[in-house]
Amino acid sequence: MHKFILFIFYSLFVSSSFCQSYKKKDLLIEPYIGFPNWSNSSISVSLLSPKVKLPSVFSELNYNDYGPLGLKSEYFLTSTKSLGIDFFLKGYQLSGAYLSDSTLNTQTQVYDKKYMHFKYTVNRVRIQLRYNYHFVKKNPKFDSYIGFGVGYNGNFSFLTTKDESKSSSIDDKIKNGSSSGKLNSFNSSLIPFSMRICYGFHYNFTENFGLNTEVGIGGSTFLLGLSLKY
């Protein structure tokens, strides 16, 4: 066990002294997570806060979210200029049941209630073409850059409903939160275009492995990920 720990220590700290600056034709692959999730957090607070009283028509309401998650690639045209792709994904899901019908039972004088169970899922996807300019540095372990990105933005929304009096499910693709009828289009984004401006850092533990962090607007405010060089 102690030999394994010494090996990890050597890989991260001793061998890092041999790191070199990025050069032409280097390729970086960088999985990352982003935070905070502003839009999903606002939905959670507005719907599930104890101070918020939901309409009595809802018998239950649940909320789950994920992301932002992403994957970037970066190909160096020169030692300071690179082009790449940035793929970004996040989403949330609302599920629960609401009162769909209430009929007075003339024999019992009690209302017979029927509930509709639903599951509303939204997935947001961004795919951007990235250009990064890397600043000249003296320490090969560190790298800083400014980045610009433009590309596609899409919100894909799905509503699944199930009447408790029926055994089959009905899948409705909806747009802009409207559940009136089936729609052929299921991209609910108002503007299918996205941009990003960011400032980022790399810290290289070894020749081919390091950490990457960014702060920016358009996408994740902060992101933290791994950097793998090929």
Question: Which has the closest alpha carbon to 43: 57, 55, 61?
Answer: 61
Percent of the chain, pLDDT > 90? 37
Residue 21's CB is within 10 A of a number of other CB atoms, namely 17
| pLDDT (average), residues 5-23 | 50
| pLDDT (average), residues 106-128 | 80
Please give the helix or strand (H or E) that residue 62 lies within, else none: strand 58-76
Query: How far is residue 141's CA from residue 81's CA, in Å, rounded to a whole number?
Result: 18
For the whole model, what pTM was predicted? 0.70
User: What is the overall mean pLDDT for the chain?
Assistant: 76
The domains of the chain, with CATH numbers, are 2-229 (2.40.160.20)
What are the pLDDT digits (tens) for 196-215?
999 999 999 998 999 999 99
Write down the pLDDT at residue 63: 81
Residue 84 near residue 230 (C-beta atoms within 8 A) = no
- Determine the straight-line distance between the first and last CA of the chain, rounded to whole angstroms: 30
Residue with tokens 């010494």: 6
What are the pLDDT digits (tens) for 36-48?
876 655 665 555 5
What residues have CB less than 8 Å from 162, skipping those under 6 apart?
A: 116, 117, 118, 168, 169, 170
Query: How far is residue 112's CA from residue 64's CA, in Å, rounded to a whole number?
Result: 31
What are the pLDDT digits (tens) for 57-84?
666 778 888 889 999 999 999 999 999 9
